[in-house]
Amino acid sequence: MKKNIIVVIAVVFFSACNNQKNEEKKVETVVKEKAVVTTTSNNVLLKNDQLNVVYQQYLLLSNALINSDLTTAKEASMALELGAKALKDGEKLVHFASKITAASAIEVQRTLFADLSNEMIAKVKAIGLQYGEIYLEYCPMSLNDKGASWLSNQQQIRNPYYGDSMLDCGEIKETLK
């Protein structure tokens, strides 16, 4: 049985790689009751490699805030800060990321994330995507009803400004392609 699953996984992986056109596909294989189930999701690649690395750290930071994980948020913002130092005109990202790293409370990190997100949104829009889709999401209730935006690779709303308390509060305002 194990040998068959490994063969199926390998076939699925290589066929997914060989059938790609303009999009990269992430292939996840799950074994359920002697059946192999494969799901795919779109990966995203920005046109600038350095910004792409920073964007990956941004996603990790967003996820840490969603999960109310102060320590992981600090680590992701520190990595984002280091990556942003290599960017042309990355000073604002460095500034906001360093403030998030220094913050001692998740609520403060979430507030600072709004400024970081605005800068990331501007940079991603200016650079553009090589492939995939990024969703510009917005929560009108965040920041004491001032509203705030963030970027996500998922259409499903997972709000970094509230975490578990209002996880699905928000809407997609724009799809970047």
pTM, rounded to two decimals? 0.76
pLDDT given for residue 18 in this prediction: 34
pLDDT given for residue 29 in this prediction: 33
Please give the torsion angle defined by the CA atoms of residues 134, 140, 146 and 152, in that order, rounded to the nearest 10 degrees. -20
Report residue 13 as tokens. 């992986």
- Find where tokens 């795919």 sit: 40
End-to-end, the C-alpha distance of the chain in Å comes to 41
Q: Which of 171, 150, 172, 173 is nearest to 160 (CA)?
A: 150
pLDDT given for residue 23 in this prediction: 33
Cα separation of 138 and 130, whole Å? 24
| pLDDT per residue rounded down to tens, the chain (177 residues) | 444 333 333 333 333 333 333 333 333 333 333 333 222 335 899 999 999 999 999 999 999 999 999 999 999 999 999 999 999 999 999 999 999 999 999 999 999 999 999 999 999 999 999 999 999 999 999 999 999 999 999 999 999 999 999 999 999 999 999
Domain ranges, ordered by start, for the chain: 2-42, 45-176
- 102 Cβ neighbours under 8 A, 6+ residues apart: none
Report residue 140 as tokens. 């009108």
pLDDT given for residue 41 in this prediction: 38
pLDDT given for residue 82 in this prediction: 97
